[in-house]
Structure 1
């Protein structure tokens, strides 16, 4: 199994089981140890590789323990401090990491609750752990751009020099991305003013700010929607049919055929809005079944209650339904009798776990067409 597949499998496990774990020890056993083992590649039962309850005397602090020390070439290279899944990760609750970082050979410290992993090093001052992580891995929303950097920490290709050299850039890029994401969601005054002055020549008064704040928010969301859609379409290859972009405030359904466009115009008052998550989920399904049929044959048709993924724009050939309009997301799958069963999902990556069912559904339609 490839590195990314192992990471996705662990993410699915966390999503399915985190609600049942009530203690820190359970979190370690269910999530953290598998992360160290299957993702980083260290034998958690070999004390020459992973030392649980690692102890080192630190000044007047005697007998303090840290959850795990990961060894590489007979040296402590990484320290791991664990919290209960769902617990907020705050450095004031991980003082051992700071102390141990200064008295061991470790250059990497990991603070985790089993779902979110924060990676620290000593960029700001030698042998002193930074206050901010250089890499944040969230298994509920995996950033694919971080996977190559994470892989450098694995046993087989452990490359500390490369990790440290890239850490500075990763640290600030990560913080910038989170700051930009916050502005896309809820722009502050400076962000609104910056863009308003690019398009508006008058003074930036209180009235102008109130007028442009929703416009900047809407433009940001539409731009992000377009970029995500274009990137996913490109990833499927040049042969894929580009998706029509749904504007953030457009009420019509987002579909591909001319008949569907006409239907959009007739039903424009229905207020259907295709979300970014629905577009991403659709593209995941399209990628899963692209070996069975050409990607352009798989389209989506949105409605108020669900977003349907269809073969050949045919309602009688439903591949799946995306029920994303409630707090709990569901993917609806169909059996041979076209009976729908809804499966709860907590992240879009979980859709990959239904690959066999999705392909089987398409195979049934293709087989029926041949007959």
Structure 2
């Protein structure tokens, strides 16, 4: 199963079960271990996932971090878990202390719903105070899933993740700043726009007025862009529907030609080859019967087979083209009507 499907399945499971999960230990088993499994690691293999991972910290002995994920005999991610009801904070966390005594470059703090990935971008071998990747697993975006997949066992590469972590960290912080400015524009942000459109002196009163104008302008601009995209999408969908209506779909055929009907056709061809080339013997299947014609001409029926009902029949035609329907036990009985079939051919050839 692809990682995006596994993460969605886990998100659905969390939504259904979290009200029944009471402890940190239950959170680990119900939410965190399935996430580690989604990354491709075997939680039951002590060579890949080590629970209660211990590293000696100077004089402090026996402290444990909840999990360490290993690759090639070295820890690549250490994981600290909290109950899903707890807020995450790295202060006084074992992650800080363990980070510099292990060879890992990544630390994960999670309560099974919120996930925070850390590395050492600011000071080498010292865990950053802020995560470079942070998400709520019950509300994942496509770009976030792409970043999570970089930690998958099949594609894990320290250099690639580290080189991308810096961008992720700053993009996250910039987005926070943008959100703050949109909610309450700062003086610097307001001045950036006011100075470009207002020719007078930017007094405190003018700045207060422009702060409100900037906020309204940005809000309207965003709404207009959203509406433009929605209208474009609706227009595209409308055109598609009109094209589909203009080109009605062909009704699905209810006619099914069975192998038994084809075998019956081949028997008749074998009989009639005494007088006719096979190219002149043509079948047409209908809902009610399987017809065999001379020269693909409806006015020259050679016979009709009725094989799809409870009983089987063959219809033959006399010199007045009147149809006679006769029951048969199986298609092998068609050989009994060789003379009648050849007589019918002779009738049409005489005409």
3-state SS, counterpart of residue 98 of structure 1? helix
Q: How far apart are the structure 1 equivalents of 2:195 and 2:18? A: 47
Residue 237 of structure 1 deviates from its aligned partner by 10
* 2:173 aligned with 1:171: no
Q: How far apart are the structure 1 equivalents of 2:42 and 2:37? A: 6
Residue aligning to 1:240? 237
Residue aligning to 2:26? 26
Unpaired runs of at least 5, structure 1? 243-292, 298-371
Going from structure 1 to structure 2, the CA distance change for 1:9 and 1:90 (only over 3 Å counts) comes to: same
Q: Please, which moves more after superposition, 17-26 or 143-152? A: 17-26
RMSD: 2.8
3-state SS, counterpart of residue 240 of structure 1? helix
Residue aligning to 1:78? 77
Residue 295 of structure 1 deviates from its aligned partner by 11
Q: Is the 8 A contact 1:152 1:158 kept in 2?
A: yes
TM-score when normalising by structure 2: 0.62
Q: Is the 8 A contact 1:27 1:114 kept in 2?
A: yes
Going from structure 1 to structure 2, the CA distance change for 1:145 and 1:55 (only over 3 Å counts) comes to: same
* 2:144 aligned with 1:146: yes
TM-score when normalising by structure 1: 0.59
Q: How far apart are the structure 1 equivalents of 2:28 and 2:17? A: 13
Give the alignment partner of residue 212 of structure 1, picking from 210, 213, 221. Answer: 210
Give the alignment partner of residue 135 of structure 2, picking from 127, 130, 137. Answer: 137
Q: Is the 8 A contact 1:122 1:130 kept in 2?
A: yes
Residue aligning to 1:4? 4
Going from structure 1 to structure 2, the CA distance change for 1:228 and 1:161 (only over 3 Å counts) comes to: farther
**How many residues align structurally?**
244
**1:281-323 CA-partner distances (Å, limit 9, x unpaired):** xxxxxxxxxxxx95999xxxxxxxxxxxxxxxxxxxxxxxxxx
Q: How far apart are the structure 2 equivalents of 1:37 and 1:193? A: 51
Residue aligning to 1:121? 119
Residue 227 of structure 1 deviates from its aligned partner by 4.3
**1:89-112 CA-partner distances (Å, limit 9, x unpaired):** 221142x11111111111110111
Q: How far apart are the structure 2 equivalents of 1:296 and 1:9? A: 37
* 2:188 aligned with 1:190: yes
Going from structure 1 to structure 2, the CA distance change for 1:295 and 1:147 (only over 3 Å counts) comes to: farther
**1:195-252 CA-partner distances (Å, limit 9, x unpaired):** 2223222333332233233332232233333445566787x7993359xxxxxxxxxx
Residue aligning to 1:46? 45
Structure with higher RCO (Cα < 8 A, 6+ apart): 1
Residue aligning to 1:14? 14
Residue 33 of structure 1 deviates from its aligned partner by 1.1
3-state SS, counterpart of residue 154 of structure 2? helix
* 2:208 aligned with 1:222: no
Q: How far apart are the structure 2 equivalents of 1:67 and 1:16? A: 25
3-state SS, counterpart of residue 78 of structure 1? strand
Residue aligning to 2:282? none
Going from structure 1 to structure 2, the CA distance change for 1:84 and 1:237 (only over 3 Å counts) comes to: same
3-state SS, counterpart of residue 44 of structure 1? coil
**1:256-299 CA-partner distances (Å, limit 9, x unpaired):** xxxxxxxxxxxxxxxxxxxxxxxxxxxxxxxxxxxxx95999xx
3-state SS, counterpart of residue 131 of structure 1? coil
Going from structure 1 to structure 2, the CA distance change for 1:185 and 1:65 (only over 3 Å counts) comes to: same
Unpaired runs of at least 5, structure 2? 245-351
Q: How far apart are the structure 2 equivalents of 1:6 and 1:37? A: 9
3-state SS, counterpart of residue 223 of structure 1? helix
Q: How far apart are the structure 2 equivalents of 1:296 and 1:192? A: 48
